[in-house]
A and B are shown apart, each in its own frame.
Chain A
Amino acid sequence: MENEFFEQRTDLSKLSAAVEQIKATLGTIIVGQHESIDLLIAGILADGHILIEGVPGVAKTLTAKLIAKAIDAQYSRVQFTPDLMPSDILGTSIFNPKAAEFEFKRGPVFGNIILIDEINRAPAKTQSALFEVMEERQITIDGHQYKMEEPFTVLATQNPVEHEGTYRLPEAQLDRFLFKIEVKYPTLEEEIAIVTQQHQQKTADQLSHVAPVLSAVDINELRKQVRALHVEDKLIEFTAKVIHETRNNKSLQLGGSPRASLAIINAAKAMAAINGRDFVTPDDIIYVVPPVLRHRIMLTPDREMEGITPDIVIAQMIQKIEVPR
Chain B
Amino acid sequence: MVKRLSLKKSIDMRRLFLALTFIIFSVACCFADDNGKKSPEKKAPPAVLKIDTAQLPAQRNFNEKKINNYLKDQEFVYNKDDLPGETLWNRFWRWFWQMIDRKLFAAAGSRRFYFYLEVAIGIVFVLFILYKVTGINAVSVFRGKARDIPFAYSESIENIHEVNFDAEIEKAIAGHNYRLAVRLLYLYSLKQLNDAGIINWEAGKTNMAYLNELPEGERKRLFRILTRQFEYIWYGDFRVDSTSFTEIDTLFKQFKQNLG
- By a beta-carbon cutoff of 8 Å, the part of chain A in contact with chain B is 1-3, 5-6, 9, 230, 232, 235, 245, 249-251, 277-283, 286, 302, 305-306, 308, 312-313, 316-325
**Known A-B contacts A281-B235, A316-B149, A320-B153; A2 and B204 likewise in contact (beta carbons under 8 Å):** no
Contact A281 to B149, CB < 8 A, known contacts A2-B225, A232-B237: no
What are the 6 A-B residue pairs with the smallest beta carbon separation, nearest first?
A279-B236, A322-B203, A319-B204, A2-B228, A283-B208, A320-B151
B 174-206 binary contact with A (CB < 8 Å = 1; else 0):
000000000100110000000000000011111
A286–B205 Cα gap in the complex (Å)? Answer: 10
- Which among B151, B203, B206 is the interface contact of A317 at CB below 8 angstroms? B151
Chain B residues with Cβ under 8 A from A322's Cβ?
Answer: 153, 155-157, 203-204
Contacting residue for B229 out of A5, A250, A283, CB 8 A: A5
**Cβ B204 vs Cβ A323 within 8 A:** yes
Contacts from B to A (Cβ < 8 Å) = 139, 143, 146-147, 149-151, 153, 155-157, 183, 186-187, 202-208, 224-225, 228-229, 231-232, 234-238, 240, 244, 247-248
- Asked whether A232 and B235 contact (CB < 8 A) given A5-B248, A283-B208, the answer is yes
Since A2-B228, A308-B146 are in contact, a sample of 14 more A-B pairs with Cβ atoms closer than 8 Å, ordered by chain A residue number, is A2-B229, A3-B232, A5-B238, A6-B238, A278-B236, A279-B235, A280-B235, A286-B206, A306-B139, A316-B149, A316-B151, A322-B156, A322-B157, A325-B187
By a CB distance below 8 angstroms, the chain B residues around A312 are 147
Q: A2-B228, A306-B139, A322-B203 are known contacts. Are A277 and B236 too (CB-CB below 8 A)?
A: yes
Q: Which residues of B contact A278 (CB under 8 A)?
A: 236
Which residue on chain A has the smallest CB distance to residue B239? A6
Assembled-state Cα–Cα distance A10/B222 (Å) = 26
Q: Is the Cβ of B150 less than 8 Å from the Cβ of A324?
A: no
The contact sample of 16 A-B pairs, CB cut-off 8 A, is A2-B224, A3-B232, A6-B232, A232-B234, A280-B235, A306-B143, A306-B146, A312-B147, A313-B149, A317-B151, A318-B204, A319-B202, A321-B153, A322-B155, A322-B157, A323-B205
